[in-house]
């Protein structure tokens, strides 16, 4: 089969590799019918994650059809159309049993396109298939369901649930890229009073408004802290969600938030940030970090199925799977192309 | 009357000042019968809090007898023996109504010995007396109840409740001074599996063991992170409580804690700390900060009254109120004197 | 002034009574500009609550202008337009301080038109004015704000928050009268997967659909349990909200709910119900009861102000305050008149 | 092998049956070294659960050594000493993934000695062995670990966690049989202010006092409601735990509890109870029911291992496994024999 293979920093190729085979009783082999690219894939390609071995097939999001299952798989059958989640859940370790498979110590967690071969390929081996795949509901499209592989659960769990968004809250989302838009989408499920999108790019702020942010601030040209105070009677935001991954945006979040507020970090950081405890120690602030657990996937599937979430609008560009290198180019130059998520299909 | 008056950095005097009078309908005047000194008083005296005006009477902890009440006071009467809490609650602002009077925007919060004259005096004016004082239960001693003015609620609310301590947890407490000991006392209410005290001073570690920590580590001579991992099967602590207030001890807490764990900061910080998001972003960590709300005071009173908390043992040194300068000396040289809390009585 | 006075079971009159005066330092006198009628007022008039004294002015919902305040009132001033909440909060007792003023033991709770003279009058004395009134936001109408005096917080707190409604949930609301419609309105804030309204009257089911229930069942002609199972893959509802107040509807709720689900009772009951513990003991069911605390009022005000809740549509009939007896008639014959809430204005 | 076989109401025999064999990839075969009898076993023998087939081996609690495992089992190996939990967790269904394997829809839940052959035998087939067994920690005894198969997690999860016990609470436990004693043991982990045991038998009340209840009431001779009010300043208990399983004791719980309190039902009921909604609707009561999930087993193992829970004292009588009929007799006549839990060992 063909797969998108990482060959060290800056190097990738769409090339022939061996077909995956079942190697564990709980494995499934899935024929990939749609996949997408995540910002994390770009990080890996830059060489930011040296633990990724050269020769690794990238990608951790897919929809496809089950081709074969190991003898221990009971929930899915060959022929089933399934969503392949970015998180593999062994379901046996304490973290999985506590509802945190993102921290799985039993061989799961985030492993696709990282520790094992991923989904940007014609076929993929899916470990722990019973607890890491979801039947695609009737009457839904690949575009919308594919967004549940990673981005929507990430925005919802790591941003919105960790942030404890409640009806009437003022929610500031710093960073209006794909993950920020997913956080906005998730926050709106709780009917906040205001969703304030903050970004340096007007094009992304426009996207944020399209996705439902009722207020937007370009913090290159405007003082975001002053703005948030002005719309909250001086208090600050109830919740600030970090969706960039650099120290400045994290520190901005801790400045935006009211006494008693919450900062939910989603961004993937490469450097430490400064935590201004000299002013924050007294302010009852909660800061959370997290990798998605994908435990909200069933709920989000139900909401997409009942048209309560419009997931399809994340997909701005479509390609054939064989044109994945072109897709990477479009996604990598998002500022020019306006790409939010790109989809590659068979 | 006489009071301990702050006269700018490094300067204090036990001197005659005017008697306090009722200036608001919800005020009470309390005759102070026992008071104590907090680490924060030492900070003020060092000049770390320039917002404290010269001429301010210090102190925010007291037990005494109500002498007079304003016309709006209904819960206490002249003659009642009361605990004066370090937190004044206006009870009307949104923060008070949400259970967070520490963040009161209606004139309360932490104000004694800071924004208004405090409790290290023969008499004190107590604003919002209905919601800022507590009847002293029969059959209890001043020593034990005085510890509920600040230190025990602080350790319990900001350390233990924010930290989400649960039965069976491994709780690491960094800093075994008075606040750390209060956090240990509070943590034990939840029957943790282990309480690990970490400090640079063996004398404080000995105190921690006396207060119920079952494991102690001197992190001057031993690697605390390695130690905590060794006793938790490599996982790390479920909860780490910061009770020092310097960057190193905060950063240690974030290293001690397991994936999915919680860091509860109690320490009063003067400098920013580094938050290692490059490793923490993926680890599901929660960091909390906070000022005490004193909303647990009734609960803690009940537990002291029923001998479930031994609060008296915090008091290591006793003085006459007129000898308050000697008391400050003993408390300020705690490393030499072994002082945990000092009590001054009429 | 004139007031609607209860004269024992079945007897009421719009008659001249003495003007209210300030009797406590925390009182305000409010000139009533809009008031409404609650189902509870009808219960009182039937004689279901013998603790209500003859001579009592009825009503516990109002909007008006502050005429005078006692010396202990600091948050509102004469001239302020305020919402008068159905719940009076002393703010000092343990229940108030724990966020449950509905259970106030300090002289508050639900007292208007019950223990003290109420709001169906030209003027009303409002105890604990600081914590029992809310400024009417600019740009809102009396119709929408008046709905925050009781019905919307009741549906939201006692139905939706007690029921723990979460995004994607299936929520069954039994009873589509005014309180059931308020519960539906509140549930929609959390983007449930389905809201199923269940009632014996098709007209009320039509109102429920207008308010946003996506599914409706007439349980006079259809098996509601079978219906709810059919739309939930056999599981049952995640949350069932009782908004009638008779044994049958409560028992229906306990049959509708899935294992692990929640039954939130809002209805005012006059008789005991049967709890089928022989089948429920093993099913992880949670049943809650409750009186509104009105602690959500600020949040709901914000949501009405930002047009996230359309509160005005509850008001189907409008009358002059002097025509309150006609208004009672219209409200009392809701099945004929289609009344949801009636509003009387000066 | 030999097993205790149910032969219809009132009939049981210790007789030769076929050895169990692995029938699913996730099965283990465990050589039973210690087992016990539960009140539920007596219910089954009485014929209260007609769904139990004649020929069924009884029992759902055991400690033993793994003899063989299916190819899908990864966490335990032949030779491991394990605790066999009363709850089997498929770990794949939504209930298991939500942390509620007691409600497992994937073939697990409570099945031993009920839907499949149980543990009162020389060997037992254990389905879903990875997620339904626990390694026995070094340095512990069979007696204490065996109590974690059912009774301690049941008292802790269904009584204490559902009841939301917090430090300082007054906890009333109605019924001081084995499950009530387990609830008392669990409640004490949270340092309640008072644990009040209520029972009709003085011998059981004496056991409750030995287990740590500080107050006891015989509700045959004393008015338990009046007593609880008298020790709570008239308020009532914060939490009432039902550990009997008859309507009277449940109804007593709803009378004992304060406004805002919680009633946690553990009892196995055969008849409906009356819920006095005519008085409870306004009192903010929460009632929970539940089957144990055994999700607390790891935590409880840690607490037993660190001597924070004294589990061994539940075992009052010891027998050889071959004398199981004698053990049943002793357990069935607990009022005479004083049996709390009986243990049968190989």
- A187-212 pLDDT tens trace: 999 999 999 999 999 999 999 999 99
What was the pLDDT predicted at B265?
98
Partner-chain contact A190 C194, CB within 8 Å: no
DSSP C160: I
**Residue D57, beta-bridge partner list:** D5
Q: At B279, which CATH number? A: 3.40.50.720
What does the alpha-carbon distance between residue D28 and residue D21 come to, in Å, rounded to a whole number? 9
Residues B165, B124, single domain; the answer is: no
pLDDT cut 90: percent of chain D above it: 99
**Residue C116, beta-bridge partner list:** C112
C-alpha D33, offset from chain centre: 19
Domain boundary residue, one of C288, C311, C335: C288
Residues B181, B146, single domain; the answer is: no
Nearest C-alpha neighbor of D247 from the set D276, D222, D221, D284: D276
What does the alpha-carbon distance between residue C237 and residue C253 come to, in Å, rounded to a whole number? 9
Residues B137, B185, single domain; the answer is: no
pLDDT band at D163 (very low <50, low <70, confident <90, very high): very high
- Best C167, C233, C239, C306 residue to mutate vs chain A (most A CBs within 10 Å): C167
pLDDT in tens, D212-254: 999 999 999 999 999 999 999 999 999 999 999 999 999 999 9
C-alpha D181, offset from chain centre: 10
Burial category of A24 from C-beta neighbours within 10 Å (exposed 0-12, middle 13-18, buried 19 and up) = middle
Judge whether B274 is closer than 8 Å to chain C, CB to CB.
Answer: no
Q: Which of A168, A298, A303 sits opposite C191 (nearest CB)?
A: A303
DSSP string, B41-90: HHHHHHTS-TTSPTTPBP---EEEEEEEE-TT--S--TT-EEEE-SEE--
Average pLDDT, chain C: 97
Compute the average pLDDT of residues B277-294.
98
pLDDT cut 70: percent of chain D above it: 100
Residues of chain A with pLDDT under 70: none
- Best A289, A291, A293, A294 residue to mutate vs chain B (most B CBs within 10 Å): A289
Residues C255, C308, single domain; the answer is: no
Burial category of B174 from C-beta neighbours within 10 Å (exposed 0-12, middle 13-18, buried 19 and up) = buried
Q: Which residues in chain D have Cβ-Cβ distances shorter than 8 Å to B302?
A: 168, 193
Q: At D304, which CATH number? A: 3.90.180.10
Q: Which residues in chain D have Cβ-Cβ distances shorter than 8 Å to B306?
A: 193-194
What does the alpha-carbon distance between residue A255 and residue D167 come to, in Å, rounded to a whole number? 35
pLDDT band at C6 (very low <50, low <70, confident <90, very high): very high
Separation in Å, CA of D237 to nearest CA in chain C: 14
Q: State phi, psi for A46 to the nearest 5 degrees.
A: -70, -15
What does the alpha-carbon distance between residue D147 and residue D153 come to, in Å, rounded to a whole number? 9
Query: Residue C49: is its pLDDT beyond 90?
Result: no
Residue B237 · residue B170 · CB < 8 Å: yes
Nearest CA in chain A to C193: A303
Query: Residue C330: is its pLDDT beyond 90?
Result: yes
Partner-chain contact B283 A269, CB within 8 Å: no
Separation in Å, CA of D64 to nearest CA in chain A: 20
Which residues does B47 contact at the CB level (< 8 Å), separation at least 6? B8, B9, B10
What does the alpha-carbon distance between residue D191 and residue D214 come to, in Å, rounded to a whole number? 12
Separation in Å, CA of D319 to nearest CA in chain C: 31
Separation in Å, CA of B111 to nearest CA in chain C: 19
Instruction: Determine the structural domain holding residue D170 and report its residue range.
Output: 153-288
pLDDT in tens, B32-69: 999 999 999 999 999 988 999 999 999 999 999 999 99
Compute the average pLDDT of residues C12-29.
97
Residues A139, A166, single domain; the answer is: no
pLDDT in tens, B140-186: 999 999 999 999 999 999 999 999 999 999 999 999 999 999 999 99
Partner-chain contact D190 B193, CB within 8 Å: no
What was the pLDDT predicted at B48?
86
Judge whether D75 is closer than 8 Å to chain A, CB to CB.
Answer: yes
Tokens of B303: 């537990």
Residues B82, B124, single domain; the answer is: yes
Judge whether D247 is closer than 8 Å to chain C, CB to CB.
Answer: yes
How many C/D residue pairs have CB atoms within 8 Å? 117
Domain boundary residue, one of A288, A305, A337: A288
What was the pLDDT predicted at A49?
87
Judge whether B194 is closer than 8 Å to chain D, CB to CB.
Answer: yes
Number of domains into which chain A is organized:
2
Residues B283, B322, single domain; the answer is: no
Judge whether C300 is closer than 8 Å to chain A, CB to CB.
Answer: yes
3-state secondary structure at position D132:
helix
Separation in Å, CA of C209 to nearest CA in chain A: 16
Against chain A, the chains showing at least 3 CB pairs within 8 Å are B, C, D
Judge whether B303 is closer than 8 Å to chain D, CB to CB.
Answer: yes
What was the pLDDT predicted at C48?
86
Q: Which of B191, B302, B306 sits opposite D308 (nearest CB)?
A: B191
Residues A145, A185, single domain; the answer is: no
Partner-chain contact B191 D189, CB within 8 Å: yes
Query: Residue D48: is its pLDDT beyond 90?
Result: no
Residues D283, D306, single domain; the answer is: no
Average pLDDT, chain D: 97
Residue D43 · residue D49 · CB < 8 Å: yes
What does the alpha-carbon distance between residue D91 and residue C266 come to, in Å, rounded to a whole number? 36
Partner-chain contact C277 D271, CB within 8 Å: yes
pLDDT in tens, C67-105: 999 999 999 999 999 999 999 999 999 999 999 999 999
pLDDT in tens, C184-238: 999 999 999 999 999 999 999 999 999 999 999 999 999 999 999 999 999 999 9
Nearest CA in chain D to C269: D278
ipTM: 0.97
How many A/D residue pairs have CB atoms within 8 Å? 42
Judge whether B72 is closer than 8 Å to chain C, CB to CB.
Answer: yes
- Tokens 């066999």, residue located: D84
Judge whether A77 is closer than 8 Å to chain D, CB to CB.
Answer: no
- Best C275, C276, C293 residue to mutate vs chain D (most D CBs within 10 Å): C275
pLDDT in tens, B68-111: 999 999 999 999 999 999 999 999 999 999 999 999 999 999 99
Report the predicted TM-score, pTM, of the whole model to 2 decimal places. Answer: 0.97
Residues B162, B127, single domain; the answer is: no
Partner-chain contact C265 D281, CB within 8 Å: yes
Compute the average pLDDT of residues C240-261.
98
- Tokens 């406004």, residue located: D259
Domain boundary residue, one of B260, B288, B316: B288
Residues D233, D261, single domain; the answer is: yes
Nearest C-alpha neighbor of D89 from the set D311, D305, D297: D297
Q: Which residues in chain D have Cβ-Cβ distances shorter than 8 Å to B308?
A: 167-168, 191, 193
Which residues does B38 contact at the CB level (< 8 Å), separation at least 6? B59, B60, B61, B86, B150, B151
pLDDT in tens, A111-124: 999 999 999 999 99
Q: State phi, psi for D301 to the nearest 5 degrees.
A: -60, -45
Q: Angle at which helices D202-211 and D178-188 pack, to 10 degrees?
A: 30
Q: Which of C98, C259, C265 sits opposite D103 (nearest CB)?
A: C259
What does the alpha-carbon distance between residue D285 and residue D260 come to, in Å, rounded to a whole number? 5
Separation in Å, CA of A271 to nearest CA in chain C: 35
What does the alpha-carbon distance between residue C158 and residue C267 come to, in Å, rounded to a whole number? 10
Edge to edge, the sheet with strand A194-199 lists A215-218, A194-199, A170-174, A237-242, A257-265, A286-288, B286-288, B257-265, B237-242, B170-174, B194-199, B215-218
DSSP string, A26-72: T-EEEEEEEEE--HHHHHHHHTS-TTSPTT-B----EEEEEEEE-TT
Q: Which of D92, D98, D298 sits opposite A130 (nearest CB)?
A: D92
Residues B146, B66, single domain; the answer is: yes
Separation in Å, CA of A176 to nearest CA in chain C: 23
What does the alpha-carbon distance between residue C48 and residue C56 come to, in Å, rounded to a whole number? 15
Nearest CA in chain A to B270: A278
Partner-chain contact D102 C267, CB within 8 Å: no
Query: Residue D155: is its pLDDT beyond 90?
Result: yes
Judge whether D137 is closer than 8 Å to chain B, CB to CB.
Answer: no
């Amino acid at each position: 089969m063909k797969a998108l293979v990482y060959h060290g920093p800056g190097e990738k190729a769409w090339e022939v590799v061996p077909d995956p085979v079942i190697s564990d009783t709980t494995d499934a082999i899935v024929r990939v019918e749609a996949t997408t690219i995540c910002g994390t894939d770009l990080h890996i390609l830059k060489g930011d994650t040296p633990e990724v071995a050269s020769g690794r097939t990238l990608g951790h999001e897919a929809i496809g059809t089950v081709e074969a299952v190991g003898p221990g798989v009971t929930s899915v059958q060959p022929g089933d159309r399934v969503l392949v989640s970015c998180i593999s859940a062994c379901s046996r370790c304490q973290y999985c049993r506590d509802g945190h498979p993102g921290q799985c110590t039993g061989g799961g967690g985030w492993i696709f396109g990282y520790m094992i071969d991923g989904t940007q390929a014609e076929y993929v081996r899916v470990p722990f298939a019973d607890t890491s795949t979801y039947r695609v509901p009737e009457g839904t499209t690949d575009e919308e369901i594919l967004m549940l592989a990673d981005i929507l659960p990430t925005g919802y769990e790591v941003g919105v649930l960790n942030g404890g968004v409640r009806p009437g809250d003022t929610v500031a989302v710093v960073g209006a890229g794909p993950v920020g838009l997913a956080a906005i989408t998730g926050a709106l499920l709780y009917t906040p009073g205001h969703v304030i999108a903050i970004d340096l790019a007007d094009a992304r702020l426009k996207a944020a408004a399209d996705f439902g942010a009722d207020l937007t601030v370009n913090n290159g040209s405007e003082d975001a802290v002053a703005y948030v105070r002005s719309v909250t009677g001086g208090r600050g935001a109830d919740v600030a969600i970090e969706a960039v991954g650099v120290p400045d945006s994290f520190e901005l979040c801790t400045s935006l938030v009211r006494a008693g507020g919450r900062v939910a970090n989603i961004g993937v950081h490469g450097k430490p940030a400064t935590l201004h405890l000299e002013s924050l120690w007294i302010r009852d602030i909660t800061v959370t970090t997290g990798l998605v657990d994908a435990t909200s996937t069933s709920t989000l599937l139900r909401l997409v199925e009942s048209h309560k979430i419009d997931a399809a609008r994340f997909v701005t560009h479509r390609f054939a799977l064989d044109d994945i290198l072109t897709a990477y180019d479009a996604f990598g130059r998002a500022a020019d192309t306006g790409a939010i998520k790109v989809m590659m299909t068979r």
